[in-house]
């Protein structure tokens, strides 16, 4: 009669005697061995090993490899003296590579050499399309379906909405904001906000866009010449990297609903041979006049935008406000939120800390002069850059800006004779580090015509000392 060895699940696996079922110290989970961590690994030593008998060294290599891989259908029957199997929950850690076997002295076998990895031949540089051709191709496929764009090095730190308007200039800015707000855009697989910043190598997934089949209006050389001449008449400062314009009252910075003429569109007339036009770095309200910075290169745009985010740029505004502040110099610190979050040009309201959509806004102000306790000339220094910040803060302290259609709400208040009912707000001065040299660029804008008229009627001297320079920078 043939005697069968005990099964794997029987007592033969665990053995018997005094040492059965005990884990030798230092050999449990977490111990080290040639095959990595010994998880659930148990070995018999001492008397137990002698009871099991000598290890069966005749088990062939294929069967041992199959046992280590956990292939149950290929395992050899268990025999007394065999070592227990390795059981792990993780993937098996392969043993370290062994050194090549040295030939015996009396053998004619030649020494074996390790085969070096085959080096891949460098790919020949392919002549890709130019940036202008890439933009044209992207525009051509804009409405054809989903596409994925890769952020390039010179697009680093660019806002996601600015990235889309740069890649697709025929797409209205309001449409871009709508796409991002509804979550139709993905950056590295995640939803993006309009003010999110991009890094080189990020992938931007653009959804199919249903646009009306309207051909791009051909640009007229005469119109381009007229627009270029108009923009050059506004330049307050210019070099190879940037320029600062004196934006007039009533000219929008960007396009929107019903807005045809704006600074961003006029900059097309200054595009270079490669099709790249100067880029906006920040924005001003349509009815706010004064200093507007424009970058001539992508690198300059990224550097200047970073200066604004880090608050390295210092700005001074002049305003004509109703009434006279009780405190001639002060600090306004509130939280602002949009009354209608879905409206890009919605009125801002004073909000509470922690409220959804609320952002902190900080402004320093100083009264330069006043006229018969009726109106005041205020100099304002915004530390933060929230939408309508100065207009909302002036109204918050009870002295709204003269001519402000959104925030002026004083009943039975009449304009002094001769003063036009236009927004009296000027981006008077800006100081910002140069994008290449880092040296400060300090530029001052003159009063727009309607404010110059008011200053003359009220007897204000534009050359008077401005006490806002003494206000803190943060």
Residues belonging to the active site: 285
The token duo for 237 is 């400062």
The token duo for 251 is 């000219």
Element (DSSP H or E) covering residue 13: helix 11-14
425: buried, middle or exposed (CB in 10 Å: 19+, 13-18, 0-12)?
Answer: buried
For 145, phi and psi rounded to 5 degrees? 160, -170
d(C-alpha 45, C-alpha 33), whole Å: 16
Handedness of CA 162, 166, 172, 176 (dihedral sign): negative
Would you list the DSSP string of 27-73?
-STT---TTS--TT-----THHHHHH-S--TTS-HHHHHHHHTT-GG
Task: Give every CB contact of residue 95 below 8 A, 6+ residues apart in sequence.
Answer: 34, 35
Neighbours of 68 (CB within 10 A): 15
Neighbours of 426 (CB within 10 A): 25
Pairing mode, if any, of strands 425-433 and 289-295? parallel
Question: Reduced to 3 states, what is the DSSP secondary structure of residue 153?
Answer: helix
d(C-alpha 164, C-alpha 171), whole Å: 8
Handedness of CA 33, 34, 39, 43 (dihedral sign): negative
For 333, phi and psi rounded to 5 degrees? -130, 115
Task: Give every CB contact of residue 138 below 8 A, 6+ residues apart in sequence.
Answer: 147, 149, 167, 168
The answer to whether 335 touches 353, Cβ cutoff 8 Å, is: yes
Long-range contacts of 7-15 (CB under 8 A, 24+ apart): 7/78, 8/78, 12/78, 12/80, 13/78, 13/84, 15/44, 15/48, 15/51, 15/52
d(C-alpha 198, C-alpha 201), whole Å: 9
The answer to whether 158 touches 302, Cβ cutoff 8 Å, is: yes
């Amino acid at each position: 009669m043939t005697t069968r060895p005990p099964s794997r699940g029987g007592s033969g696996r665990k053995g018997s005697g005094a040492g059965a079922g005990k884990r030798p110290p230092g050999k449990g989970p977490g111990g080290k061995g040639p095959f990595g961590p010994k998880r659930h690994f148990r070995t018999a030593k001492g008397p137990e090993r002698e009871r099991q008998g000598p290890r069966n060294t005749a088990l062939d290599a294929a069967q041992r490899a199959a046992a280590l891989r956990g292939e149950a259908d290929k395992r050899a029957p268990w025999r007394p003296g065999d070592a227990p199997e390795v059981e792990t929950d993780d993937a098996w850690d392969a043993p370290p590579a062994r050194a090549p076997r040295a030939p015996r002295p009396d053998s004619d076998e030649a020494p074996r050499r390790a085969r070096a990895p085959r080096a891949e031949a460098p790919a020949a540089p392919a002549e890709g399309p130019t940036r202008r051709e890439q933009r044209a191709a992207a525009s051509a496929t804009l409405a054809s379906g989903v596409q994925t764009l890769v952020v390039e090095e010179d697009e680093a730190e660019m806002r996601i909405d600015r990235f889309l308007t740069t890649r697709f200039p025929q797409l209205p800015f309001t449409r871009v904001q709508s796409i991002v707000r509804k979550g139709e855009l993905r950056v590295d697989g995640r939803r993006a906000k309009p003010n999110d910043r991009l890094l080189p190598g990020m992938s931007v997934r653009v959804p199919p866009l249903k646009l009306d089949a309207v051909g791009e209006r051909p640009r007229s050389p005469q119109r381009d010449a007229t627009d270029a001449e108009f923009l050059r008449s506004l330049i307050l400062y210019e070099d190879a990297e940037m320029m600062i314009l004196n934006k007039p009252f009533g000219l929008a910075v960007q396009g929107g609903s019903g807005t045809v003429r704006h600074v961003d569109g006029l900059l097309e007339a200054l595009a270079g041979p490669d099709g790249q036009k100067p880029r906006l770095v920040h924005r001003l309200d349509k009815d706010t006049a004064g200093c507007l910075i424009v970058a001539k290169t992508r690198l300059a745009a990224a550097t200047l935008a970073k200066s604004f985010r880090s608050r390295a740029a210092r700005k001074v505004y002049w305003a004509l406000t109703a009434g006279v502040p009780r405190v001639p110099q002060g600090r306004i610190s509130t939280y602002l939120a949009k009354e209608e979050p879905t409206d890009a040009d919605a009125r801002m309201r004073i909000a509470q800390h922690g409220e959804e959509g609320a952002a902190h806004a900080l402004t320093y102000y100083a009264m330069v002069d006043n006229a018969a306790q009726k109106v005041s000339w205020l100099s304002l220094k915004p530390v933060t850059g929230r939408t309508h910040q100065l207009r909302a803060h002036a109204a918050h302290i009870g002295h709204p800006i003269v001519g402000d259609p959104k925030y002026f709400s004083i009943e039975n208040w009449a304009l002094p004779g001769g003063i036009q009912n236009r927004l009296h707000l000027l981006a008077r001065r800006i100081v910002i580090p140069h994008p290449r040299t880092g040296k400060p660029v300090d530029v001052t804008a003159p009063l727009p015509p309607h404010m110059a008229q008011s200053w003359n009627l009220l007897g204000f001297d534009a050359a008077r000392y401005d006490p806002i320079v003494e206000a803190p920078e943060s």
